[in-house]
Amino acid sequence: MSETGTAVQPRLEAAQVCPWITLAARLILGGVLAVAGAMKVGNIPLSIQAVQAYKLHAIFTGSDAVPDAFWAFTKFAGTVLPFAEIAIGLLLVAGIFTRWAALAGSLLMVAFIFAIASVWARGISIDCGCFGNGGEKEGAVGEYPWEILRDVGLLVCGAWAVWRPKGKFSVDSRLRAAVTVIDEDG
């Protein structure tokens, strides 16, 4: 392993830097998710309205009327989303089940990017409802590129933490260190 110091040097650097990047990724994605969830959780009916405003059913049915099954989905999504965001956010910040939490957070971002792109493509002007509020809003189309850019950035954070879940100051790493010691003791 350590015959030539020059070859080892960059590897060492990566091993030292990656956990810090993972920590940053966790805190950014986790922090934003937890805050976004917290701002919505106190007003679930409004959260449901925000989901409704995307009219996602119309992508499939092409008509305004909401099918019963989709209505149930809208209510479910609007109710669960704030809690899921808070839960995933806290797991990421604490670094618990980092890889799975980051995967869940990344999937949420993919869904959000898709949803915002779809209303943009269909010419629907709404407040994204990302941090509360929601519903139709004039001139909101101009904000879509920035919202998508923001979510892509968060997606990159999530993807990084899925790829390199080992990070600084995480419950995972402390747990792993303890377990490793036991294994070595046999």
Partner 1 sequence: MANARQRMYERRQAELKRKKAVRLGLIAGGIAVALAAVLVVVLVVVPTLTPPETDGDGVTPPHATAEYAIVIKDTADVPVVDLFFDYQCPGCGQLERSYGEAFASLSQTGAIKLVYHPFKFLDNNLQNDSSTRASVAAACADTVGAYEAFHNAIFQAQPAKEGDGYTDETLRVTIPGQVGITGDNLTAFQTCYDEQQTLAWVNAASEAGSKAGVTSTPTVKVNGNDLPTSEVYQIAMDDNRPANLLALIKSKTGV
Binding site for partner 1 (CB under 8 A): 43-46, 49, 52-53, 55, 58, 63-66, 71, 79-80, 83-84, 87, 90-91, 94, 96-97, 126, 133, 135-136, 171-172, 174-175, 178-179, 181-182, 185
Least Å distance, CB 115 to partner 1, is: 14
Least Å distance, CB 20 to partner 1, is: 22
CB-nearer residue toward partner 1: 11 or 61: 61
CB-nearer residue toward partner 1: 15 or 72: 72
Least Å distance, CB 52 to partner 1, is: 6
Name residue 126's amino acid. Answer: I
Q: DSSP assignment of 58-69, as one string?
A: HHHH-SSSPPHH
Residues 6+ apart with CB under 8 A from 122: 55, 58, 59
Least Å distance, CB 182 to partner 1, is: 5
Burial of residue 93 (number of CB atoms within 10 Å: 0-12, 13-18, 19+)? buried
Residues 6+ apart with CB under 8 A from 22: 98, 160, 161, 164, 165, 166, 167, 168, 170
